[in-house]
Structure 1
């Protein structure tokens, strides 16, 4: 492998590492946001703790529909 090829490969790996760190950072931010929003929902409507995901989806759909 020539020095130029080696340098190119190293640069590619550095870029991939930076992209992987960015993806992880975005995932962590999304996870934190979802946890905090879920906690707020449980605080406001404590009964959701006992609901299945399907029941929760139905509950939210019903209560968030626009009534004209």
Structure 2
């Protein structure tokens, strides 16, 4: 493997690592947002804590009507 090939491979790996870190940051931000939104939902509608996902979806869709 030549020096240029090694440099190219290293650059490719650095780019992949950067993209992976960015995806991880996005996932963490999404997870945080979903948790915060869920907490607000439970605060405003305490009864939703006892609902399963289908019941919660029906409840929220009913609010939209």
TM-score (norm 1): 0.94
- Paired with 1:11 and 1:54, the residues of 2 have a C-alpha distance of 47
2:11 is matched with: 11
Aligned length: 65
1:23 is matched with: 23
1:1-68 correspondence to structure 2 within 5 Å: 1-65=1-65
- Paired with 2:9 and 2:48, the residues of 1 have a C-alpha distance of 51
TM-score (norm 2): 0.98
- Paired with 2:7 and 2:55, the residues of 1 have a C-alpha distance of 55
Gaps of 5+ in 2: none
Moved >2 Å (runs of 4+): none
Summarize deviations over 1:22-60 as a string: whole Å, max 9, x none: 000000000000000000000000000000000000000
- Paired with 1:53 and 1:64, the residues of 2 have a C-alpha distance of 17
